[in-house]
Amino acid sequence: MVAALGIPEHEVAEKYWNITGATVQMKTVDGHCVFYRDGCSVYEGRPWRCRQWPLVPALLDDESNFIIIGNSCPGINRHVSYQEFRKILAGLKRR
Ligand code: SF4
């Protein structure tokens, strides 16, 4: 992200990050990520967690997360059951 934005890390941190202990989250504007403008405005430098989307560990831990994310993310095939999704994702993780 620092390289993509072309500004020093301390400036990126000050302008765009909320840091709590070891956790870094993007600041928000109007309830969404500060970088969201009709898509990700820092796509090439987006954080690792964003690169994982929608294959986030929370989907493997709790079926209700699968349902919630599935309802908000067009990238998730809603015709695949939770059990099938877990099997597919586990297969991908082994590669
Ligand atoms: S992909 Fe990540 S960094 Fe980009 S707008 Fe979405 S939450 Fe923000």
**Protein residue with least CA distance to atom 3, ligand 1:** 46
With bands split at pLDDT 50, 70 and 90, how would you rate the model's confidence at 71?
Answer: confident
Tell me: do 5 and 38 sit in the same domain: yes
Tell me: do 14 and 35 sit in the same domain: yes
Tell me: do 5 and 37 sit in the same domain: yes
Distance, CA 90 to ligand 1 centroid (Å)? 25
Pocket of ligand 1 (CB under 6 A): 26, 33, 35-36, 40, 42, 46-47, 50
Where in the sequence is the domain holding 89, given as residue range(s)?
53-95
Q: State how many domains the chain has.
A: 2
Tell me: do 35 and 71 sit in the same domain: no
What percentage of the chain exceeds 90 in pLDDT?
39
Tell me: do 13 and 36 sit in the same domain: yes
pLDDT per position as a tens digit, 13-34? 999 999 999 889 999 998 899 9
Tell me: do 71 and 33 sit in the same domain: no
24 pairs with which residues across the strands?
Answer: 19
Question: Largest alpha-carbon pair distance within the chain?
Answer: 45
Tell me: do 2 and 35 sit in the same domain: yes
> Do 69 and 59 contact (CB within 8 A), yes or no?
yes
pTM over 0.75: no
Tell me: do 62 and 86 sit in the same domain: yes
